[in-house]
Amino acid sequence: MLFLALTKVLRKLDYKNIFILRHAETDFNKRGIVQGSGIDAPLNNTGKAQAHAFYTRYKDYPFDKIYISALQRTHQSVKEFIDDGIPYEKLKGLNEIDWGVFEGKEITPSDNEYYNILIENWKKGKVDYRIDGGESPLMVQKRLQHDMEIILSRPDEKNVLICMHGRAMRILLTTLLNYPLSSMDRFAHQNMGFYHLTYDENTFTLVMANDTVHLG
């Protein structure tokens, strides 16, 4: 009944119901190894269980479209929905931030010092501060804005599921909810946790933050 009632509400022309989901766990996540846009790791067994738990809870939700990044961990996280026949599309702009020289590495004390300086610069508003060999938050925001324009341009897709990555998710949420990029760390995330937003008349509203009830 809840899904039926919600579906009727979502028939409004400009209304969208958007779930922004972080991918499930990989061994890189488990081992604390930096995993950005250049690391295409698959889900581990825990991640597959997390993905199935999300599917079990939301398999009857009327998603019109699924958007994933170009990295396999997002595809695998929502594969059961795709197998059910829900249309999906890969958008490379949804990829994780490029962590440059850190990608594929376990963080050493010196790396951690550099990382802390990086985060502090971002918190101070220096969001054009670029990771050595990688991207800045401003660069990621630009590609995310491009892909969100695509997603929002499709009026028939009322209920949308976006599966993406932690840092990129933080950047996207600050952008959609009109926070400065310097405050992106306010948005907590964990594997297979999601944010629920509504979109109506060019305004995004946060409904639910980092929900993980499906994980028990």
pTM of the complete model beyond 0.95: no
pLDDT in tens, 110-125: 888 888 999 999 999 9
pLDDT in tens, 77-91: 999 999 999 999 999
pLDDT in tens, 14-68: 799 999 999 999 999 999 899 999 999 999 999 999 999 999 999 999 999 999 9
C-alpha span between 25 and 15 (Å, rounded): 32
CATH number (3.40.50.460, 3.30.365.10, 3.40.50.1240, 3.30.1330.20) of 2-215 reads 3.40.50.1240
- What is the pLDDT, as a whole number, of residue 13? 56
Read off the pLDDT of each residue in 100-115 and give the average, rounded to a whole number: 86
Longest dimension (CA), the chain: 55
CA 177 to chain centre: 14
C-alpha span between 177 and 179 (Å, rounded): 6
Least confident segment among 6-20, 101-115, 160-174, 178-192 = 6-20
C-alpha span between 31 and 53 (Å, rounded): 22
Model confidence at 7, pLDDT cuts 50, 70, 90, reads very low
Read off the pLDDT of each residue in 166-191 and give the average, rounded to a whole number: 97
C-alpha span between 189 and 209 (Å, rounded): 9
Residue 118, C-beta contacts closer than 8 angstroms, at least 6 positions apart? 129, 131
The answer to whether residue 149 scores a pLDDT higher than 50 is yes
